[in-house]
Amino acid sequence: MNGVIEAPTIEYGALAPLLLVFGAAVLGVLVEAFAPRYLRRAIHMPLTLLSLLGAFALVIVTVVKGDLAETAAAMGAVAIDGPALFIWGVVLILSAVCVLMINDEGHFVASAAAVPGSSEEEEAEAAGSEHTEIYPLVLFAVGGMMLFPASNDLLTMFVALEVMSLPLYLLCGLARRRRLLSQEASMKYFLLGAFSSAFFLYGAAMIYGFAGTVSLTGISKALGTSGLLDPLLMIGLALLGVGLLFKIGAAPFQAWKPDVYQGAPTPITALMASGTLVAAVGAVLRVFWVGLGNLDWNWRPVMWAVAALTMIIGSVLAITQTDIKRMLAYSSIAHAGFLLIGVMATYDKAGQNSGSLSAILFYLLVYSLTTVGAFAVVTLVRDPGGEAWHLSRWAGLGKRSPVLAGVFAFFLLAFAGIPLTSGFFGKYAVFTAALGSGMESGDSLGGWMTGLVVLGVVASAVAAFFYVRVIVLMFFSEPAADGPTIAVPSMGTVAVITVALLVTVGVGLFPQPVLDLANQAASGLFIR
């Protein structure tokens, strides 16, 4: 090798959204450093929101301009293709919405350093001080979420993974109420996250060992040429899978989800349940079909088992949950399973799979927005000690505030996939894709896909049970004497719930526009 190193070329235009978000994040840190305490919030809020919206606008512009690069940007490190842009858009909307929620008073601890119940804490609360670092942290996390599904080599992906996760670890620990739980969640998430990312990295190393490169394009080339049964490759594939599946919370790597979702401040839970999931699924798609597409005969059967297990665990365990946030966590596990069905379906050789790809993208959009809405509602049902998580406290909510309960019930029905809600079309699209690919001649699984879909159907029937159970509680049972109070929602929260509701209803009635969007995004497939 000669010593000459050419200067790398960076497509700033294409990367603009990403850069904007990261830039704003850095700016946020500076604000933390220099702006006076009383001003910070006033600066952060618009900065964060504007940067997110701006980034979203940039994404729109790129889409409208339409001339996507044939090859990955930044020396093949970042692939900015249809799916990536779609996911970026989704992530940006979600994070913007979540920021509205985050901005509400009373979610975050006054001073994380202060011991719960200590005098410092009281003073801090009295002083009304708060952690404005939250905003830059969120921005970093969002940046990570954008980079994660877009990164075109395993290194970038690893870095993105960490950039996404590290801020979230911290944010999980910053709940104002029930701080012990919050901190516990944070620690568990951190340790397990680090643990799993170590697996990811080792997997990457193995694959590097096999292919001599970590760029997905290179890997798939290598797969195209050499023998596919190299144990290095298999181990690498497995460990890589561990890291990714951990992030989307697929069984048997789902253990962290309930705990973390429950302990974390609800707005952050919303961000994780929506944004992280979207990003992670995007990353899974990219790795498994761009990098390892030629290996599908090996990984699809395994993925089949994982998907099945995930759906079952998620929906069965949710039945007996008594904590609303835990229940939603399990439900998100079940939905991860449904998404994996989509991932399974998306194997066919280039061109064939755009259908199922768009199905997944559609599912991600509608599901994540409904989720955010649901968590937003959770933030409003309060007890003296904070949010009322225990389901028994939700009894008779329909009597006390019919509108809120009605909205929540609607979200639940959407989760359950009842027709005329967005959730139904999400499920429908994924199932259709799966059956479709199963029917394709030369599908490695064939009839097994039908089996998986039937399993999915049964799972969603089981899942329906616990969604319905909450509705029963809210509407059919008499209110508890000292029922929870319904906080007067801030403009932000109202906006969040409204957006979520509009999408859930609107897409439920007229899914075609969103479908077109997803189809368009999927039509180009991934850059290889």
Partner 1 sequence: MTAHYLVLSGLLFAIGALGVLIRRNAIVVFMCVELMLNACNLAFVTFARQHGNLEGQIIAFFVMVVAAAEVVVGLAIIVTIFRTRRSASVDDANLLKY
Partner 2 sequence: MSSLWLPILMAVPVLGAIVVALLPKGSDKAAKQLTLAVSLVVLVLTLVMAFQFPSASGERFKFEAVYDWIPSFGVHFGVGVDGIALVLIALSAVLVPIVVLASWHDADGVRTADGTLITPKRSVKTYFSLLLVLEAMMIGVFAATDIFLFYVFFEAMLIPMYFMIGSYGGAQRSYAAVKFLLYSLFGGLLMLVAVIGLYVVAGKGTFMFPELVGVIQDPATQKWLFAGFFIAFAIKAPLWPVHTWLPDAAAQAPAGAAVLLVGVLDKVGTFGMLRFCLELFPEAAKAFTMPIVVLAVISIIYGAIVAIGQTDMKRLIAYTSISHFGFIVMGVFAMSQVSQAGATLYMVNHGFATGALFLAAGFLIARRGSPHIADYGGVQKVAPLLAGYFLIAGLAGLSLPGLSSFVSEFMVMVGTYSSPAFGSGALTVAAIVSAVAVILAAVYILWMVQRALNGPTAEPVKAFKDLNVREVAVLAPLVALIIGFGFFPKPLLDVINPAVTQTLVNVKVDNPAIAEKGAGQ
Partner 3 sequence: MESPVEIVQHTAGGVIGVSWLMIALPLLGAAILLILGRVTNRWGHLLGVAMSLASFVVAVLAFFELIGLPEAQRRQAVHLWEFIPGMVDMGLLIDPLSISFALLITGVGSLIHIYSIGYMAHDSDRRRFFAYLNLFVAAMLLLVLADNYVGLFIGWEGVGLASYLLIGFWQFKPSAAVAAKKAFVVNRVGDFGLLVGMFIIWTSFGTFAFADLGAQVGTASQGTVTAIGLLLLLGACGKSAQLPLQSWLLDAMEGPTPVSALIHAATMVTAGVYLVVRSGAFFFEPGSPQALAVAIVGAATLLAGAIIGCAKDDIKKGLAGSTMSQIGYMMLGAGLGPAGYAFAIGHLITHGFFKADMFLGAGSVMHGMNDEVDMRKYGGLRKYMPLTFATFMVGYLAIIGFPLLSGYFTKDGIIETAVHEQPVLGWLAVLGAGITGFYMSRMVFMTFFGEKRWAEDAHPHESPKVMTIPLIVLSIGSVFLGGYLILSNRLMVFLGPATGRPSDANLPEFHFASTPGLTTLALVAVGAGFAWMRYGKATVPVVAPRGSFLTTFARRDLYGDALNESLFMRPGQWLTRIAVFFDNRGIDGVVNGLAAGIGGTSGRLRRIQTGFARTYALSILIGAALLTGALLLVGNI
Q: Which residues in this chain contact partner 1 in the complex, by CB under 8 A? A: 1, 112-113, 115-116, 155, 158-159, 162, 166, 169-170, 173, 179-181, 183-188, 190-191, 194-195, 198, 201-202, 204-206, 208-209, 212-214, 258-259, 262-263
Cα gap 217→71, rounded to integer Å: 10
Q: How far apart are CA 188 and CA 103, in angstroms?
A: 25
**Binding region for partner 3 (CB under 8 A) out of 25-33, 100-108, 208-216, 238-246:** 238-246
Of these partners, partner 2, partner 3, partner 1, none, which one is at the site of residue 66 (CB under 5 to 8 Å by kind)? Answer: none
Q: Judged by CB under 8 A, which of 93, 146, 223, 237 binds partner 3?
A: 237
Phi, psi of 441 (to 5 degrees): -70, 145
> Residue 140: which of 110, 109, 158, 165 has the closest Cα?
165
Q: Using DSSP, how many helices (H) and how many strands (E) does the chain show?
A: 22, 3
Contact partners, residue 307, CB within 8 Å, separation at least 6: 250, 337, 340, 341, 343, 344, 452
Give dist(CA 146, CA 141) in Å, integer.
9
- Comparing CA positions, the residue from 501, 157, 455 lying closest to residue 445 is 455
Task: Closer to partner 3 by CB, 116 or 252: give it.
Answer: 252
Q: Footprint of partner 2 on residues 463-502 (CB under 8 A)?
A: 464-465, 468-469, 471-472, 475-477
The interface mask with partner 3, positions 252-291, x = CB under 8 A, is xx-xx-xx--------------------------------
Residue length of the chain: 528
Q: Which does 12 bind (CB under 5 to 8 A by kind): partner 1, partner 3, partner 2, none?
A: none
CA-wise closest residue to 77 among 268, 226, 173, 216: 216
Find, among 486, 490, 300, 341, the residue nearest to 408 by Cα.
486
Shortest separation between residue 475's beta carbon and partner 2, angstroms: 5
CB of 367 to partner 2, least distance (A): 18
194 binds, among partner 1, partner 3, partner 2, none (CB under 5 to 8 A by kind): partner 1
Q: Per CB under 8 A, does 446 bind partner 3? A: no
Least gap, CB of 170 to partner 1 (angstroms):
6
> From the CB of residue 401, how many other CB atoms can be counted at a distance below 10 Å?
17
Q: Which of partner 3, partner 1, partner 2, none does 127 bind, CB closer than 5 to 8 A by kind? A: none
From partner 2, partner 1, partner 3, none, which one binds at residue 302 (CB under 5 to 8 Å depending on kind)?
partner 3
User: Taking CB under 8 A as the rule, which mask of x and - marks residues 444-463 in contact with partner 2?
Assistant: ------x--xx--xx-xx--
Closest CA to 136 of 4, 223, 40, 217: 40
* Partner whose binding site includes residue 367, from partner 1, partner 3, partner 2, none (CB under 5 to 8 Å by kind): none
Give the phi and the psi of residue 334 in degrees, each rounded to 5.
-55, -45
- In whole angstroms, the minimum distance from the beta carbon of 494 to partner 1 comes to 30
**Is 435 a residue that touches partner 2 (CB under 8 A)?**
yes
CA distance 380 to 388: 9
Nearer to partner 3, 32 or 323 (CB): 323
320 counts as binding partner 3 under rule CB under 8 A:
yes
By DSSP bridging, strand 485-486 and strand 386-387 are: unpaired
Provide the CA 252 distance to its chain's centre, in angstroms.
Answer: 18
As a whole number of angstroms, the distance between CA 254 and CA 329 comes to: 10
Number of residues that bind partner 3 (CB under 8 A): 42
The answer to the question of residue 246 lying near partner 3 (CB under 8 A) is yes
Residue 472, both tokens: 């029963």
Query: Distance (Å, rounded) from C-alpha 194 to C-alpha 516?
Result: 38
Contact between residue 381 and residue 397 where contact means Cβ atoms under 8 Å apart: yes
Among 455, 462, 486, 487, binds partner 3 (CB under 8 A): 462
> Residue for token digits 């225990």?
390
Q: How far apart are CA 233 and CA 297, in angstroms?
A: 14
Q: Which is nearer to partner 2, 95 or 422 (CB)?
A: 422
Judged by the rule CB under 8 A, the positions of this chain that interact with partner 2 are 398, 402, 413, 416, 418-420, 424-425, 428-429, 431-432, 435-436, 439, 450, 453-454, 457-458, 460-461, 464-465, 468-469, 471-472, 475-477, 510-512, 515-516, 519
